[in-house]
Chain A
Amino acid sequence: MRVLLVEDDPDIALDVARALEGAGFLVECAHDGETAWFAGDTEDFDVVVLDLGLPKLDGLSVLRKWRAAGRSFPVLILSARGAWTEKVDGIEAGADDYLGKPFELGELTARVRALVRRAGGHAGPVVTVGRLTLDTRRMSVAVDGAPQRVSPLEYRMLDYLAHQRGRVISAGELAEHLHGADGAADANAIEALVARLRRKVGADVIQTRRGFGYALSET
């Protein structure tokens, strides 16, 4: 697994690189925005850890340029802990997760692992079921080719249904998958979620098999 680490402070870069290597990643370092952009634009990485405050070219611009060029690797941005405008801008520029500085190295490696798992868990990056298309890298959804805004929770529900195609999924199973096994969610919460999703992607995309559960329409 290759990680591009973009961080201008050499002390922090060294520590983070050691931690990531300790977690089994192969780490490439870039210390300024231009180097980072070039590396990301020309090589393939499984995940990028991107500091926003960089010399030469700031992190947000680097990220925007990558996304504009169709580079879809998952990006974890490091931002000042308080700066929410920075986080919002980062996510809107195409980041997949953020971590406020200063951070625990353990937290960082866990987040990087989660990002890799999220992006790499599928055989192909795009799944199509009937009229529905899921881009599993970008966590985006399109119906008949038209992009739809869905929340991550809603995305995960569609994703699960898409990967269990042909099978009817009970509300209980969905709840367990979406919220964990501690039983926090009940059938009502799932029903509400399905209703919300149907308003966004169309009522006939998610079918109800009364008494059994839900399935995606194959047509």
Chain B
Amino acid sequence: MSLSRRHLLLSVVLPAALPALAQTPRRTLVQAMAIDDMISLDPAESFEISGGELIGNLYERLVQFDLDDPSKLSGQLAEGWTLGADGRSYDFRLREGLRFAAGSPLTAAEVVYSLQRAVRLNKTPAFILTQLGWDAGNVGAMVRQTGPLTLNISVHEAFAPSFVLNCLSSTVASIVDQRVVQAHPADWLRRNSAGSGPWRLRDWRAAEIVVLDRNEAYYGPKPQIERAIYSHVKESSMQRLMLVRGDVDVARNLSPQDILALKANNAQIKLTQVLKGTVYYISLNQKNPLLAKAEVREAFKWLVDYEALGATLIQGIGKPHQNFLPHGLLGASDEAPYKLDVARAKALLAKAGLPDGFKVTMDVRSTQPVQGIAEAFQQWAGRAGIQIEILPGDGKQTLTRYRARKHDIYIGDWGTDYWDPHSNADTFARNPDNSDRAAVQPLAWRNAWANAPLNREAEAALLERDTARRAALYERMQAQFRAESPFVMIYQQLQVAAVRAGVAGFRLGPTSDTTFLAPVTKTR
């Protein structure tokens, strides 16, 4: 294409030689999403939300749960499995004809390799597998190939089968192409993909763009879309403008006011949502003697105006929730005994010997909606005489302080790591070692809350194999938690995506790695 001088001049003067309404390229799905949290795409290492979504599309795992009913688990790479009589041994059979994107066959050997690799590397997400009783020393025996398409997985105790299977459905248990991984240097998998999923990683420019290309060698039904692009756009208003304009097909990080504004524009834009396994909470550091008093803990629970929050600050992006298990998980409770009751809070404070209230600080991340909620909470608490001084900070900064237990009050969130109630119970209710030198730092530890009975209940629930009984155990735990814990649970996250007309089959999953792009089709 030759360039004449006139062309050049014209283009500088008239950049509007653009079509009236922008359109994304055919067969390409463009999403506007904040992806600057991604650090690594190696399944054995990745723990961020954006990374999780990508890994969910690039790789596959032994089992998966049904998006319509997450309690139903089925085989993804596995055709089926049998559980041993002692409840500690699982025999998996793989499907036939499985292939990696690079072309080599996916057999039991690769499954064993992938699981062992994750355990041996022992990076952050490895705990999901090591909690099954595996470590670098014994994983060779615990996870072994028994035939070309069969393998045996042993776990340390007779855990509830749904627990074990859900662990195997998480991103850390993704199956990687052994041949490719071993042919490259150790950290190659961070920025490249070697999976069997319907997509391949084409390009990743940090805080800019991620491009997935269709896996042409996929053994299953190929996606209609040929290329999936995640474009980094931080601001919700920007995402909204781009969506309206047609420069993107899907917007993923919309704020309540942008969601409301888009709802009015119904013809071109559909909104889809899902309740995610992420809960937001306010926690009270028990190291602070005032906050350690039982009456004070309860008083705070009567100082949240759930109704107002649900109608304003978290409208469309969250549902008020008062339990540590997100709705949708086995045993999740929807009990909501608390509401704004300043008089009751004051009475409780008086009983604690603090009729005139007291002063306390609160670490708040400078992002929305957390900051807005904190400011509102500051006002409600103020009415009961509690003067909260907000200490704003950047997310990582406040997290550093939180983990060092230097805070008074903290407002944060927690996403379930795998779709089993033990994930949240393990962090909210269990605190085996409350000392400063503890090996792990669950949320209960960070707030210096040691509750031995609840520890035992959590451990017992993990080993309960009967589903109904297990659910009842968690219900009881949540009731106790509501009454005694230093956690004021606030809401459960609603993830929302705005999708342009002409895009069909886009569905958000309840976890970060279950938003699948393969079923998406574009009519334009």
Chain A partners chain B: no
Interface residues of B, Cβ cutoff 8 Å to A? none
A residues adjacent to B (C-beta < 8 A)? none
